[in-house]
Structure 1
């Protein structure tokens, strides 16, 4: 991995982007996993993945087995998906856990809050207790978690400052548009498999420079000149001063979120919450994208759409999902093309437009700073 990233930290007028190794080198990918994704708050899923008490959702977080579990008390917790006996995976597919979480290997059982509640035959046949096996000391390992706008963020390291402190500026920025979010259901979620390093998906999402050429349909009513850059600590992105609501055949629209501020009536913002969560906020719906790095040059994008009320017109929801799918699919050739372009020693990381690339430059600087380079 390149030790010197000083060129990335320069002012944007003279800065270079991250070198090729950050997209093509397995060693660098591992270092970024440790520092960027396991070293602080990162997204692993959404609350809608486990909506009801007893719902369990296993997550492979860059090889680390985690388990999202909504307990009988309604609280969503995240645990290491590993039995404390011999390290067996506890839940290997999404399912409802009616009773205890039972290890399929030796049947050790855990309550929904992680407590170890049963160790059958641990002391020999018919002996369910054994010297040295203290149940209170062998509960599931809980991972620090925080839910914001339904996205489940975790701090695997256990050393990050509280989410509210790390993202205080972002929470303040969007405080006026906070409202209960209702997932649109199965038709309001979809997944894209993309052949690129996960960072390229972040970089592309947070800037509007590419709109006229990559999204000509979107640019026809939400033009490049209607957008502005957002640059801050821990997030960056773009905003629009001209948001146009989607309409049905008879002109119907989704209901607005309650108490939506006047200043946002015609506006919308689209931000990348570092490292791997992308969000959009508009008057009548919102979305969250959790980027799952599945390899050095492969990423799975989990897209979820949310509304102001639990019941909205199914046809309009389907139209909205189709529209966003089209927009996000238009980006695929770009991020995959950049990934292919990074192969080979000749590219120095590129340069930035001082006027248009500020959000991407800010993300690169965050990466370089977190890597201590």
Structure 2
């Protein structure tokens, strides 16, 4: 890859080329993206629904690093490196609830759920649990910057990103009406999809409506291509519709609306990709989040969560809504996997953009190119 390759990506959409193939296939390029695009940004790590109770611990590997989201005894969600400060042992292997202290399985050093180191058995010799050369106050779990918004736990691995509310001020202002409690629908409102594609292709496909008539004929039957509009900003892009249709049960009932929404949302809905790895949708009566977890350059796990305005929504209607969205998201799989296979063509030059329709996708490419060039 040369700097000229990235310069052409950053041209106006009418002249631009897409990112070179290496950004989708090369392991070294993928590692560089994890450093420059993931570590330095606010990334979606998990949801509050993954750790709803005091003491809940949720381990995961993200951008190649072992992390632990933990709800402390004080109720606060924190993100730590999932390693003991003694010899670097992994502390939690699978999601569970911590009763009392978090104990390292290697030498039994124990940590409070707030991260503080509380016991160090035999550290000064048999029967001696302290040592003047070891300061427990300096050896708590290593905490990473985190932030919660829209029910999602974000992490900034490098610690260098601007505050979340500053970095994403435009989106927070755009969706200010949805700054209210979001209630996760529970086990029937979450599912995961494993897709053989690069994470960027999942973002690219999500943020444009151009493919609707051919990939989503059911959705396009009432929310047509001409009913959609593009959304572009620094750090996110997407599309909206002006003809959102609520799901109804056999008696015509719907989910309760979010409180205080302006008339715009009677029919509108918006779908935004918040770079690098979060896909969001908001409607008058529910919202969803798709957290993208890259697994190498050619595989991505999509964790889908649905949210509602109240905690007591009808379970049958919730299940129907989850099925409906799962169908839509599964319809995209052959497209993003097909584009991934296409990146093996050495003669493919990144492709062109349809100027009127692909602006949200071009916005992502330009964002990636700008940050990779700066790195």
TM-score by length of 2: 0.98
TM-superposition CA deviations, 1:26-60 (whole Å, max 9, x none):
11101001001112211111110000111000011
Q: Are 1:301 and 2:302 an aligned pair? A: yes
Corresponding residue of 1:364 = 365
Cα distance in 2 between the residues matched to 1:26 and 1:103: 33
Cα distance in 2 between the residues matched to 1:353 and 1:369: 21
Corresponding residue of 2:216 = 215
Unaligned runs of 5+ in 1: none
Corresponding residue of 2:39 = 38
Cα distance in 2 between the residues matched to 1:292 and 1:3: 28
Name the SS of the counterpart of 1:295 in structure 2. Answer: coil
Cα distance in 2 between the residues matched to 1:367 and 1:129: 49
TM-superposition CA deviations, 1:81-123 (whole Å, max 9, x none):
0100000000110000011110000000111111111100001
TM-superposition CA deviations, 1:261-300 (whole Å, max 9, x none):
1121110000000000000000000000000001110000
Q: Are 1:267 and 2:268 an aligned pair? A: yes
Kept after mapping to 2: 8 A contact 1:245/1:253: yes
Corresponding residue of 1:76 = 77
Alignment of 1:1-373 (within 5 A): 1-4=1-4, 5-372=6-373
Cα distance in 2 between the residues matched to 1:269 and 1:48: 23
RMSD: 0.8
Cα distance in 2 between the residues matched to 1:98 and 1:335: 43
Name the SS of the counterpart of 1:315 in structure 2. Answer: helix
Unaligned runs of 5+ in 2: none
Cα distance in 1 between the residues matched to 2:152 and 2:341: 31
Cα distance in 1 between the residues matched to 2:222 and 2:55: 44
Cα distance in 2 between the residues matched to 1:3 and 1:143: 33
Cα distance in 1 between the residues matched to 2:49 and 2:288: 12
Kept after mapping to 2: 8 A contact 1:60/1:66: yes
Kept after mapping to 2: 8 A contact 1:2/1:21: no
Cα distance in 2 between the residues matched to 1:175 and 1:312: 23
Cα distance in 2 between the residues matched to 1:372 and 1:179: 38
Kept after mapping to 2: 8 A contact 1:177/1:261: no
